């Protein structure tokens, strides 16, 4: 029996329905693809936006390991410096806590709700070197492991658990690449316990102890952690204290001189101001030095310094600046 042929209008109606169904499916697929693309793009954007390192300039990290250490990376010269601080060494804890053994500052920070930030701030202020980030891994340092393999392990741990560092995953990836590419003869390791930077002092309870001498450690920091780009720019820098706290500018000035900055004047500002300000000439507002100092001291940059000023950059530490 011959199959009855469908009327033309029915065939056209079915074709229209099929075409409409295809369009709906295409729209749905495009919409899903768009969502996935935007989501992926947003994640990539966050990797860069949350980055604390530009990958081109020196990076200084506090390592909460045993013993506490400072690691510094200079992409320009492809060098690494690794400085360990022996347990039992006293330094001044940031704030009003006074002298503390280096290995006790992190537990103190935990009790005060500051965590590793207190350790990082204490090292930055006492050693006079800017700290960009930290790895809070609490691993035992084994010299036999080798610094490259040891540091690669630390990076692996922080990639698995982002709470262990303030670096982004993009920072960690670039750091891993730099560690892998750094040649062994360009890695410098110093144990402060084997140097002459320690001095004897008396604790408030009358006991004798050892601490790091500020002047001696400044020479070590200057040798190991110089920011060569900042030094090459050679801009004239002044730092003024407008906080009302005696000696704040003098204490903070070491953060500039220890990394190669050309600091030509330190003093008091005639009036108190709020927060931190950096005044520059319009010619140097976007300079590397201006941007670096703004990051170190958490300042806003203003290009309202007169062109006839004897300084290129003026830093004013205001009342909200922590000592």
Tens-place pLDDT, residues 54-112: 888 899 999 999 999 999 999 988 999 999 999 999 999 998 888 899 999 999 999 99
Instruction: State which fold the 227-317 domain adopts.
Output: Alpha-Beta Plaits (3.30.70)
Query: Is pLDDT of 220 > 90?
Result: no
Contacts of residue 222, Cβ cutoff 8 Å, sequence gap at least 6 = 257, 258, 259, 260
Q: Band the pLDDT of 306: cuts 50, 70, 90.
A: confident
Secondary structure class of 266 (helix, strand, coil) = strand
Asked, as a colleague might, if the bond just before 225 is cis with ω within 30 of 0, I would say no
Nearest alpha carbon to residue 242 among 282, 284, 271: 271
pLDDT digits (tens, 9 = 90+) for 23-45: 667 767 777 776 666 555 545 44
First to last CA, the chain: 100
CB distance 243 to 233 below 8 Å:
no
Q: Which of 214-223, 273-282, 305-314 has the lowest mean pLDDT?
A: 214-223
Q: Band the pLDDT of 310: cuts 50, 70, 90.
A: very high
Round to whole Å and give the CA distance between 263 and 266.
8
The class level of CATH for 59-220 reads alpha beta
Query: Is pLDDT of 214 > 90?
Result: no
Share of the chain above pLDDT 90, in %: 44
pLDDT for 45 equals 47
Which secondary structure element, helix H or strand E, spans residue 296, and what is its range? Answer: helix 288-297
The whole-number average pLDDT for the span 184-197 is 88
The whole-number average pLDDT for the span 205-225 is 83
pLDDT for 323 equals 42
> Beta-carbon neighbour count of residue 193 at 10 Å?
15
CB distance 284 to 293 below 8 Å:
no
Q: What backbone phi and psi angles, to 5 degrees, belong to 130?
A: -70, 135
Which secondary structure element, helix H or strand E, spans residue 25, and what is its range? Answer: helix 8-49
Please provide the average confidence, as pLDDT, over all residues in the chain.
85
Could you tell me the residue ranges of all domains in the chain?
Answer: 59-220, 227-317
How far, in Å, are 59, 118, 186, 295, 304 from residue 223 at the CA level? Answer: 15, 25, 14, 22, 34
pLDDT for 245 equals 86
pLDDT for 6 equals 61
pLDDT digits (tens, 9 = 90+) for 137-148: 988 877 556 888
pLDDT for 42 equals 46
Q: Band the pLDDT of 201: cuts 50, 70, 90.
A: confident
Q: Which residue has the higher pLDDT, 260 or 48?
A: 260
């Amino acid at each position: 029996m011959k199959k009855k042929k469908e009327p033309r209008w029915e065939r056209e109606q079915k074709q229209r329905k099929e075409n409409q169904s295809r369009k709906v499916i295409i729209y749905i697929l495009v919409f899903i693809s768009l969502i996935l693309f935007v989501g992926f793009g947003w994640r990539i954007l966050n990797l860069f936006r949350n980055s604390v390192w530009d990958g081109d300039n020196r990076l200084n990290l506090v390592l909460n390991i045993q013993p506490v250490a400072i690691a510094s990376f200079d992409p320009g010269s492809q060098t690494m410096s690794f400085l360990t601080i022996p347990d039992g060494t006293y330094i001044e804890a940031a704030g009003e806590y006074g002298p503390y053994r280096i290995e006790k500052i992190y537990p103190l920070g935990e009790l005060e709700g500051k965590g590793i930030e207190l350790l990082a701030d204490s090292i930055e202020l006492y050693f006079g070197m800017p700290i960009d980030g930290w790895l809070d891994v609490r691993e035992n340092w084994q010299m036999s492991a080798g610094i490259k393999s040891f540091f690669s392990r630390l990076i692996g741990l922080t990639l698995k658990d982002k709470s262990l560092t303030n670096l982004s995953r993009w920072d960690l990836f670039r750091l891993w690449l730099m560690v892998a590419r750094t040649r062994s003869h360009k890695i410098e390791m110093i144990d402060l316990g084997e140097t002459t930077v320690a001095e004897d002092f008396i604790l408030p309870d009358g006991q004798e102890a050892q601490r790091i001498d500020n002047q001696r450690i400044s020479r070590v920091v200057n040798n190991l952690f110089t920011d060569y780009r900042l030094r090459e720019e050679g801009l004239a820098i002044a730092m003024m204290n407008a906080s009302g706290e005696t000696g704040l500018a003098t204490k903070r000035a070491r953060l500039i001189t220890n990394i190669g900055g050309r600091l030509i004047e330190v003093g008091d500002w005639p009036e108190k101001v709020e927060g931190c300000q950096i005044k520059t000439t319009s010619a140097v507002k976007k300079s590397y030095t201006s941007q670096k100092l703004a990051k170190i001291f958490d300042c806003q940059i203003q290009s309202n310094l007169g062109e006839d000023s004897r300084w290129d950059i003026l830093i004013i530490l205001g009342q909200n600046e922590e000592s």
